[in-house]
Structure 1
Amino acid sequence: MALALVVHGFLECTRPKAERYRFRWSSSFKLCVPAVADLIATALGSVALLYVNVSFFQLARCTIIIYVATLKVIFLKFSMTGYMRFGIVVMSFAIVLISASCLASANDLVRTLVGVCVLLLACLTSAMQYVLEEVFMKKPVQTDKNDSVEDAVSNPPLVVIGMEGVWGTLLMLFVVMPIAYAIPGADNGHVEDFFDSIEMMQNSTTLTYYCILYVISITGFNVASIYVTFFLDAVWRSILVNFRPVAIWVTSLLFYYVFTNGTYGETWTNWSWLQLAGMLLLFFGTAVYNENIKLRCFTYPSQKQDEHEKTGVVSDESDDCAAPAVVVVATA
């Protein structure tokens, strides 16, 4: 994520000096808050993955859209229309079905229930991060005390994601890793032996390449995600994330039945049908919320009003950016 600052710096060098973004330390310090939320969500999600299968893990993360919409109503005075509320209700019921399928197929009910609860808490924390990012990007901030409101600018997406990465790195290096190293555990007597991990990378070129590839891929994913939040809103970002579980679930099944002959991946059980039904219902609720499926029992606003309802911003530039995103969601 911190590499986004490098991309931002390169792009700024290509712009005229008068149009360049003026870095503000006050705003950068505030970005520590979503960075902490991201760190907590990642930790909780990693713990939850130890107790639940990967397909449920990805599908349950779709609850983020429910949390984001709810948090925006509470804290950002976001006004949901009737079809949006109906979509949220449908998605909530879908998550109940998906959770029921996971619990019903579990060998250890208590262990799986703990994983489900931890994962839902991780999704709530991620939703907080999304909403905070939207606030920091879209809320105008004056670059100088003498600047007028008209001169105030918002935080660029790459600065937001980059500073989150910087704060996350600092927190990991000086807070999380020392604590994990000090606590007794199964990793050479520690919960996490950071020095052993570095030694493994030094002795394995393949592992080093994988780590570099992961850093590049996750940076690209985060940059793309933050631009979705910037040009549209946090709900749109969580909507697009919903379509990732399909690819992961299909890949897990292929690994089990085709590529590894049952060594890795995930099996198809009788309860998988319930999970599939929940997934389809989840996508239906998402489509209703996003107006991809319009129901006759609801009144839908015009295009300009619709944009204002979903983003809180009405401008010609937003219209140009919003249209392609609808195509992405509809064809994913």
Structure 2
Amino acid sequence: MSDLNVHSVSKTKILSSVIIMLICGTCSIVFGKLQFQTKAVGRDGKKHYFNKPLYQNATMFLGMVLCFTFPLFLKSKEKKNDETKKPSSMKRLAKLSTAPATCDFLATYFMNIGLIFLPASMWQLLRGSIVIFSAILTVFYRKRKVPKFQWAGVSIVTIGLTLIGCAAILGTHDETGQQFSSVERGVGIILVILAQFIQALQTIIEETLLHDYEDTNPAHIVGFEGLWGLILCVVISSPIAYYVPEKSGFKEDSIDTFVMLGNSGFLVGTTFVYIVVILLYNYTGMVITDFSSALLRNILDGLRTLFIWVALIVVYYTSPDSGFGEKWSNWSYLQLGGFVTLIVGTFMYNKIIKFPCFNYSRGYTDIDSLNSQEDLLHSSALDNDDESVSSYLITDSDQK
């Protein structure tokens, strides 16, 4: 399969999906962080920070559930007529979506906790590690061979992540005034990176559903994931989070959450905006996975970093007394170095930056197909028919 199947999707849809994904993805992180930076009166009558990662998880899944309304307004997807694809139905899709929904719930919950301990830009930069896990899972789960130039990009991404991790651990406080120790920041880093492995698995499973099953609508997959995720949040996780010990770090009082919402119109407003942008972000991300691959989606997702960093710095210096945004510090230079390195790695991965030492003529190749082609080359060579086999092996990446 090609990295970008432009033959079946209009360039306008591709470009609009990418732009909407980047803008809404940036807004979702900025408004999510603003919620964590906001103080409001809780059930104890005192003001405290709105550190409610489980609530933010639930609002995200609520936004995803609203994707069920998209097919009512958008042109229906044409029926696929491919005998190699497995049959699909709404009932079966509902069952199949439980796996990516569970991954989404765990990944987002871990990331929301990490977002409390880390500046939003560092948090988003660490999410670049999803490229590493996506590449590994592409080989072992999707059975594809990743080109050498992309492994080089993954290596550079790893260097960037190391620089970012150092900047996060060595920083002494959050831009909001909340004090966090190096241990807490370290825990935040571990949770975010663990979440990236889980989310990489999620996107690979979603790619399987979109590419290997007939007539799967991206809006339906997002909707079912939102439904299962909302059930996990409200029915299972909220009661557990209410009764776990305070020292565990996972306790979350749902009653206190709604009291704080009732005492803060800002929190209510940011919640509404968050639901809308997360709806559009998840839908366009699934559309990109549909016409391309999970790897391209995750690389594009990493490009949100620049927008998030700039937005938070602008917010801070526009209103420095508000307690919102992110302040430039000495450790920001190290963070900037990590950011540049990460972007270079992702650009190499996506063939935006090219080097003459790599072969860019071939994209992803199915490992089984590649092995069979190599066997054919070997046997044909014995028959002195190298030329015909070579022409068979050389295929345009856009036709895969």
* Category of TM-score, reference length = shorter chain: 0.7 to 0.9
Counterpart of 2:33 in structure 1 is none
How far did 1:165 drift? 0.7
Task: Report the equivalent of 1:306.
Answer: 363
User: Which of 134, 137, 160 lines up with 2:207 in the alignment?
Assistant: 134
Shift in CA distance, 16/254, structure 1 to aligned 2, threshold 3 Å:
closer
Distance 1:82 1:15, change over 3 A: closer
* Number of residue-to-residue matches in the alignment: 294
Greater CA drift, 271-280 or 223-232: 271-280
Q: Which runs of 5+ in 1 are unaligned?
A: 141-152, 313-317, 321-332
- Residue 37 of structure 1 contacts residue 125 of structure 1 at CA under 8 Å; is this kept in 2? yes
**What are the within-5 Å matches in structure 2 for residues 175-194 of structure 1?**
175-183=236-244, 185=246, 191-194=251-254
Rounded Cα–Cα distance in structure 1 between residues aligned with 2:168 and 2:77: 51
Shift of residue 51 of structure 1?
A: 2.1
Change over 3 Å in CA distance of 1:295–1:259 after alignment to 2: same
Aligned to 2:276: 216
- Alignment partner, residue 325 of structure 1: none
Partner of 2:234: 173
Could you tell me how far apart the structure 1 residues matched to 2:260 and 2:245 are? 21
Give me the whole-angstrom Cα distance separating, in 1, the residues matched to 2:274 and 2:188. Answer: 25
On the 8 A contact 2:157/2:346 being kept in 1, the answer is yes
Q: Does residue 259 of structure 1 match 2:325?
A: no
Please say which of residues 2-11 and 240-249 is displaced more in the overlay.
2-11
Q: 8 Å contact 2:77–2:217 — kept in the other structure?
A: no
**Structure 2, unpaired ranges of 5+:** 1-63, 82-86, 174-180, 370-396
Q: Select the residue among 179, 183, 187 that pairs with 1:110.
A: 183
- 1:114/1:15 Cα in 2 relative to 1: closer, same or farther (>3 Å)? closer
Name the structure 2 match of 1:157. Answer: 218
Q: Specify whether residues 56 and 9 from structure 1 end up closer, same or farther in structure 2 by C-alpha distance, changes over 3 A only.
A: same
Q: 1:157 to 1:247 in 2, by over 3 A?
A: same
Q: Which has the higher contact order (CA 8 A, sep 6+)?
A: 2
Cα contact 1:136–1:154 (8 A) shared by 2: no
**Is the 2:93–2:221 contact (alpha carbons within 8 Å) kept by the matching residues of 1?**
no
Q: 2:309 aligns to what?
A: 249
Q: In structure 2, do the counterparts of structure 1 residues 202 and 270 end up closer, same or farther at CA, with 3 Å as the change threshold?
A: closer
State how far apart, in whole Å, the 2-side matches of 1:6 and 1:249 are.
33
Relative to 1, partners in 2 of residues 1:158 and 1:308: Cα closer, same or farther, differing over 3 Å? Answer: farther
- 1:185 deviation in Å? 4.5
Percent of matched pairs sharing the same residue: 30
Cα distance in structure 1, aligned partners of 2:88 and 2:184: 50
Maintained 8 Å contact 1:73/1:80:
yes
| Secondary structure at the counterpart of residue 3 of structure 1 | helix
Q: Offset at 1:159?
A: 1.1
Q: TM-score, normalised by structure 1?
A: 0.79
Distance in 1 (alpha carbons) for counterparts of 2:74 and 2:109 = 32
- 1:64-99 deviation per Cα after TM superposition (whole angstroms, max 9, x unaligned): 111111111111112111111111111111111111
Aligned residue in 2 for 1:147: none
Q: Which residue of 2 aligns with 1:122?
A: 195
Q: Name 1:24's counterpart in structure 2.
A: 90
Match of 1:227 in 2: 287
Q: 1:97 to 1:15 in 2, by over 3 A?
A: closer
What displacement does 1:207 show?
Answer: 4.5
